[in-house]
Structure 1
Amino acid sequence: MNKSKRRAFLLRALTASSVLLLSGCERLSRSEWFPRVLDSAEKLTQATQRLITPRKAMAQEFTPADLSPQFRSNGTSNPENPQYQALAANNFADYRLQVGGLVARPMSFSLAELRGLPSRTQITRHDCVEGWSAIGKWKGTPLSIVLDQVQPKPEARYVVFYCADPMDAQGTHYYESIDMDDAHHPQTILAYELNDQILPIANGAPIRVRIERQLGYKMAKYITGILVVDSFASIGDGKGGYWEDQGYEWYAGI
């Protein structure tokens, strides 16, 4: 089975299982045994993924002829956040990406400074857990370059992305995370362009992360800060992401 067919097969399998899970998750989540089943299933998914495909393997890249006519927006399309709206009104001239946590040199980057760092361009397919896909051309700064500048400490295990989009009336903001392997993957970039244009607000301006070997909900939009940590215990519900706190798998590799 080639990489493209294997990727499509894994996506179909995960999408189908997600539909079944979400249809009964409210009732099942109240049981004592079901969370343990979810945890075991996630470990099996991650182990299977690593067995089939090495962590450093590259996601398939495409040609300009393969670009989708439109790259649809998923999730939030324009954050209802006064601070974000003020930044957007000024074309993000005052934007700063804060990077800290378990690092030797905490730093902040303006959008211009991020654009001034070495960049990578890649044409890849976005696979959403809802069942749709789209191919887009992304340009951005490899996350590994930003991490090299801040110098993660030896105990660092994860990179957490904090975002501007509020998710509920209580003001909970979207967040996501990946491990250091995915953080240093060549195709993990902090994207600021889509299809040779400045990244639209609907697609995550000014910065979104692209993690090409994981499902779309891992690719946080409207990123305001990055925190390098050794544990999720004190973040959200301790599961590593907003949707993970609702029952999704933390490891969403495809």
Structure 2
Amino acid sequence: MRDKQGFDRRGFLKRVFVLGGTLLLAGCDQLSSSDWFRRMLFRAETLTRTTQRAILGPNDMAREYTEADISPDFKPNGSIDPQDEDYLALSADSFKNWKLKVGGLVERPMEWSLADLRALPSRTQITRHDCVEGWSCIGKWKGVPLKTLLDQVGLKPEARYIVFYCADTLDQTLAGGAKYYESLGLPDAEHAQTILAYEMNGQTLPVAHGAPLRLRVERQLGYKMAKYVMRIEAVADYADIDGGKGGFWEDRGYEWYAGI
């Protein structure tokens, strides 16, 4: 999507994140742990967030594509085969006994089976997935808008963030491992294109892409799109959750706001 001057804002912001992400993925531990580098990342995140908020309105949409644009081979991001025992048991039964729990700062904590979610109003969108590692793919996603669930549970006034807890364990160096988690502010959580997807390219969501349910937040980079979602909580702050930065990769140096 380009503005009247032909400026590709998604491409520009993506390149900024790719540069920072490449430094971290390359193992620049000394660099990423230095105070000046962390200050630079914080300034970059603030600039990105401020720039996107200035350019985009809260209801502006990420570009959507046609069926002809769908990538023939959509590379899965992150983990592709969780080995958590509870997850494996659910997967073996095609997730018939899986339930999504939504709680925290809500008026009515609720839970939904996969069949329950499929019975709710859905949204289908063909969008581009931009990875911090530099690659992009276009896919078709169908799921329930996150706002639909948030409206049903009723957010309390003090709720400011939505946190997603997942089944995949990425960091085996910690006792008990470290499961993936991610968070969004309310403006992105309630955006029309933010959905909990249970289908990909017209088929049931495969395990490699996050079955039974994955987050799609189309105006941000791929690491924000949590896979294997098991539980959702509304919170006032994420400072006391794991590393306190709002997400698995954020705790390891990535920016919390990954808008493109």
TM range (shorter): over 0.9
Aligned length: 254
Q: Which residue of 2 aligns with 1:147?
A: 150
Q: Which residue of 2 aligns with 1:103?
A: 106
Equivalent of 2:189 in 179, 183, 187: 183
Q: Which residue of 2 aligns with 1:119?
A: 122
Q: Which residue of 2 aligns with 1:86?
A: 89
For the aligned residues, what is the CA RMSD? 1.5
Q: Does 1:223 align with 2:229?
A: yes
Please tell me the residue identity of whatever aligns with 1:222: Y
Structure 1 window deviating more from structure 2 (10-19 vs 215-224): it is: 10-19
Q: Which residue of 2 aligns with 1:162?
A: 165
Partner secondary structure for residue 226 of structure 1: strand
* Counterparts of 1:108 and 1:93, CA distance in 2: 14
Q: Which residue of 2 aligns with 1:59?
A: 62
TM-score, normalising length from structure 2?
A: 0.93
Partner secondary structure for residue 245 of structure 1: helix
* Counterparts of 1:193 and 1:92, CA distance in 2: 14
Query: Shift in Å at residue 62 of structure 1?
Result: 0.5
Q: Which residue of 2 aligns with 1:47?
A: 50
* Counterparts of 1:23 and 1:85, CA distance in 2: 32
Q: Does 1:27 align with 2:30?
A: yes
Evaluate the alpha carbon distance shift between residue 84 and residue 21 of structure 1 in structure 2; reply closer, same or farther with a 3 A threshold.
Answer: closer
* Counterparts of 2:249 and 2:86, CA distance in 1: 23
* Counterparts of 2:33 and 2:63, CA distance in 1: 40
Partner secondary structure for residue 116 of structure 2: helix
Structure 1 window deviating more from structure 2 (120-129 vs 46-55): it is: 46-55
- State percent identity of aligned pairs: 61
Query: Shift in Å at residue 13 of structure 1?
Result: 3.0
Q: Does 1:38 align with 2:41?
A: yes
Equivalent of 1:134 in 100, 122, 137: 137
Evaluate the alpha carbon distance shift between residue 5 and residue 36 of structure 1 in structure 2; reply closer, same or farther with a 3 A threshold.
Answer: closer
Q: 5+ unaligned residues in a row in structure 2: which ranges?
A: none
Please tell me the residue identity of whatever aligns with 2:203: Q
* Counterparts of 1:206 and 1:91, CA distance in 2: 8
Equivalent of 1:243 in 227, 246, 249: 249
Q: Does 1:211 align with 2:214?
A: no
Write the deviation string for residues 168-217 of structure 1: whole angstroms up to 9, x where unpaired: 22321000000000011000000000000000000000000100000000
Evaluate the alpha carbon distance shift between residue 42 and residue 6 of structure 1 in structure 2; reply closer, same or farther with a 3 A threshold.
Answer: closer
Partner secondary structure for residue 178 of structure 1: strand
TM-score, normalising length from structure 1?
A: 0.95
* Counterparts of 1:99 and 1:164, CA distance in 2: 15
* Counterparts of 1:30 and 1:187, CA distance in 2: 35
Please tell me the residue identity of whatever aligns with 2:53: R
Q: Which residue of 2 aligns with 1:234?
A: 240
